[in-house]
């Protein structure tokens, strides 16, 4: 028997082409050999694509590319769609699917606008359903973030101290992750004696909220005993808070005026409220907490 072709062992990896149309088209999305049109986005970034795929998948692109003038279109400028959103649009046009992407709320709004612009009804539906899921899964966290952000620089005195607000946030997050609904005192709220993966989950949930807390409004000892051991605040922020306390010459034993530790405009308190100096010299009576003069 005569062998026409000498067999050779193929040490190359087997081709994955032909197994999945979606994967093949996603590969084509990144294949420069197929590029014949440029899309300049609002952020100045230019993306490349295959005009035949765009025109076939979108009537809007079809009208832009193959217009009545029959002039060859090689460049299209988009003044209201950035490159991040356009990449998602291209992925959908090529594959009818979108892999998990990390988009901001603003990007989602722009992506919905872009889907509407290109008349991609299915993509619009996907965006709506995905947004509903985010709201259903994270509405409580969004509400807490909104509360913290709105009260961080509020111009009126806040009723709760910064530390108590941080403790409340920690308890809320722990309840979500470990279902610990009974946290009776301050010490138990800050105990992190859990499995490493649970501790990481708690820290992960806390970190996005950290910009909405002001360590300068917390007691020196509270920071050192409860906050720092959590390992969530950056070292620079902790160091800055400690330095601030030293500069102000405030220690745990010296803090008398708790108005320093709350949000908003500090509440006025008479300096000598704990003495009878004001009453004896001026005839005013100051309440025991020092906030009210009669």
In angstroms, rounded to a whole number, what is the distance separating the alpha carbons of residues 105 and 196? 31
One DSSP character per residue, 203-242 reads HHHHGGGGGG--GGGS-HHHIIIIIGGG--S-HHHHHHHH
Q: How many CB atoms lie within 10 A of CB 205?
A: 18
Contacts of residue 7, Cβ cutoff 8 Å, sequence gap at least 6: none
Mean pLDDT of 55-70: 84
Range 21-135: architecture per CATH: 2-Layer Sandwich (3.30)
Residue among 294, 271, 273, 272 nearest 284 (CA): 294
- Specify whether the CB–CB gap between 241 and 219 falls below 8 A: no
pLDDT tens digit string along 227-249? 999 989 999 999 988 888 776 65
pLDDT at 273: 47
Mean pLDDT of 144-154: 68
CATH 3.30.710.10 domain residues, the chain: 21-135
pLDDT at 150: 67
Quick one: which H or E segment has residue 145? helix 121-151
For residue 41, give both structure tokens.
């986005």
Mean pLDDT check: name the lowest of 11-20, 49-58, 90-99, 268-277: 268-277
Q: Average model confidence (pLDDT) for the chain? A: 76
Helix (H), strand (E) counts: the chain: 12, 3
Mean pLDDT of 274-293: 54
Residue among 26, 147, 146, 43 nearest 85 (CA): 43
Q: How far apart are the first and last CA of the chain?
A: 117
CB-based burial, 103-120: b 16+ in 10 Å, e otherwise: beeebbebbbebbeebeb
Q: Is the pLDDT of residue 138 over 70?
A: no
Three-state SS at 157: coil
Contacts of residue 215, Cβ cutoff 8 Å, sequence gap at least 6: 162, 223, 227, 233, 237, 238, 240, 241
pLDDT tens digit string along 172-196? 888 878 775 555 455 677 888 888 8
pLDDT at 129: 82
pLDDT at 47: 94
pTM: 0.46
Q: What is the four-CA torsion angle of 114, 143, 153, 213, rounded to 10 degrees?
A: -110
Strands of the chain (E only): list them: 37-40, 46-49, 75-77
As a whole number of Å, the CA-based R_g of the chain is 31
Q: What is the distance of C-alpha 102 from the center of its chain?
A: 10
- Specify whether the CB–CB gap between 186 and 192 falls below 8 A: no
In angstroms, rounded to a whole number, what is the distance separating the alpha carbons of residues 251 and 240? 15
């Amino acid at each position: 028997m005569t062998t026409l072709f000498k067999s050779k062992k193929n040490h190359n990896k087997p081709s994955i082409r032909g197994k999945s149309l979606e994967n093949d088209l996603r590969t084509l999305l990144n294949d420069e050999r197929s590029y014949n049109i440029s899309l300049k986005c609002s952020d100045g970034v230019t993306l490349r694509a295959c005009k035949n795929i765009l025109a076939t998948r979108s009537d809007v692109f079809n009208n832009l590319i193959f217009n009545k003038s029959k002039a060859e279109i090689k460049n299209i400028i988009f003044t209201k769609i950035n490159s991040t959103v356009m990449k998602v649009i291209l992925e959908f046009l090529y594959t009818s699917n979108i892999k998990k992407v990390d988009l901001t709320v603003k990007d989602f709004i722009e992506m919905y606008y872009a889907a509407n612009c290109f008349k991609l009804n299915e993509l619009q539906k996907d965006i709506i359903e995905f947004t509903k899921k985010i709201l259903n899964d994270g509405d409580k966290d969004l509400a807490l973030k909104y509360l913290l952000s709105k009260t961080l620089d509020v111009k009126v005195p806040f009723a709760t101290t910064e530390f108590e607000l941080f403790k409340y946030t920690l308890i809320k997050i722990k309840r979500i992750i470990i279902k610990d609904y009974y946290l009776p005192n301050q010490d138990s709220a800050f105990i992190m004696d859990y499995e490493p993966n649970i501790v990481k989950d708690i820290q992960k949930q806390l970190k996005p909220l950290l910009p909405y807390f002001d360590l300068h409004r917390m007691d020196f000892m509270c920071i050192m005993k409860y906050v720092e051991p959590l390992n969530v605040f950056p070292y620079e922020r902790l160091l800055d808070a400690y330095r601030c306390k030293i500069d102000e010459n405030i220690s745990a034993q010296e803090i008398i005026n708790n108005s320093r530790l709350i949000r908003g405009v500090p509440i006025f308190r008479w300096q000598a409220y704990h003495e009878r100096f004001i009453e004896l010299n001026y005839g005013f009576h100051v309440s025991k907490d020092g906030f009210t003069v009669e």
